[in-house]
Amino acid sequence: MRITGIQTDIVWEDPPANFDALRPRLSRAAEEGARLCVLPEMFATGFSMAADLVAPRAGEIRAFLAEEASRLGLWILGGFAEPGDPRPRNAAALFDPQGRERLLYHKIHPFSLAGENEVFEAGRTLETLDVEGLRVTPLICYDLRFPEPFRRTADRTDLFCVIANWPVVRSAAWRTLLRARAMENQAFVLGVNRVGEGSGLIYRGDSALIDPMGEVIAAAAWQEAEVSGNVRTAEVRACRERFSFLADRRVDLYPEL
C-alpha cells in the first residue's frame, strides 16, 4: 500500500484556511496512488492550549476529513481537539474511503511541559484498525517518548502512525525515537510533523517513513512536503520471521522486575 504523510504549515486556530491549503495536496497524493494519507496533530488549528476555542471546531474538522476521504476514495488520518468530559481531548480519527469514521484515538500522554495535561484529558486505550490488510495503530506526538504503547501493540501492528507538532529544539529526539520505535518493534513507522511557526515555536518537520529495520525510506525537513512510500505487511512478517527478536521477550518475567 502506498501511504503519504503531508507535512504542512498550519494557520493558527483557523480551520477553513488550513482546509483550503490541504485540499489540493490531498488530491495530488490520491492522484499519485496513495491509499492512506496522514495529517499532523491538530492539523487544522495548531497545538493550541485554548481548548475552549479549538475543541468546539471538532465537528467541522471531522466533516472535512469525511468529505475529503469520500471525494478522493482514500483513507485519511488526522488530529484535532474535541470536546470531552471532564475536559477536551487531543484526538486522532481515521476515515475510510466512504467517509466513515472508523477509528478514534485519544492521546495517552498529554505534554505536561506545555501544560497540555491541565487542559486536555489523557486517553486510556490504544486503537488498531485493519486498513485494506495493513494493521495501523496511531499515536500522537509526546506518546513517542514512551515505548510502552508501541510494545503493547507491536504484535497487532504493521504500521505505526505518529502525528505531531514537535518543535525544532527537540528535533534530534524526534528523529532518533522514530527510528528506535521502528527497530525495536520491527514495524513500519510514519512520523508526520508540521513545519513553520506557531505560538512562538519553530517547527522543522522531519516527517519520515521508516522500515522495520530502521532504515529511512523517505524524509523531509524545513518545508511543506509529502513523505510517501510503499508499506507491505509481508515485509513486516518476513522481518519478524528472519530476526525473531520479539519472540525472545521475557513477558513472563517483566512484571517481577
Q: Determine the pLDDT at residue 165.
A: 98
Q: Determine the pLDDT at residue 64.
A: 98
Residue of 44, 147, 131 whose CA lies nearest to 92: 44
- List, for residues 35-51, the tens digit of each pLDDT value: 999 999 999 999 999 99
Rounded-to-integer distance, Cα 193 and Cα 208, Å: 9
Q: Determine the pLDDT at residue 197.
A: 96
Q: Determine the pLDDT at residue 184.
A: 97
Percent of the chain with pLDDT over 90: 98
Task: Name the CATH superfamily housing domain 2-245.
Answer: Carbon-nitrogen hydrolase (3.60.110.10)
Rounded-to-integer distance, Cα 141 and Cα 136, Å: 16
| Residues belonging to the active site | 41, 107, 141
Rounded-to-integer distance, Cα 177 and Cα 175, Å: 6
- List, for residues 72-82, the tens digit of each pLDDT value: 999 999 999 99
Sign for the CA dihedral angle at 188, 215, 182, 39 comes to negative
- List, for residues 174-199, the tens digit of each pLDDT value: 999 999 999 999 999 999 999 999 99
**149-to-66, 87, 137, 152 alpha-carbon distances in Å:** 27, 22, 10, 5
**Number of CB atoms found within 10 A of residue 23's CB:** 15
Domain boundaries in the chain? Answer: 2-245
pTM of whole model > 0.95?
yes
Rounded-to-integer distance, Cα 5 and Cα 185, Å: 21
Low-confidence ranges of the chain (pLDDT < 70): none
Q: What would you report as the CA-atom Rg of the chain, rounded to the nearest whole angstrom?
A: 17
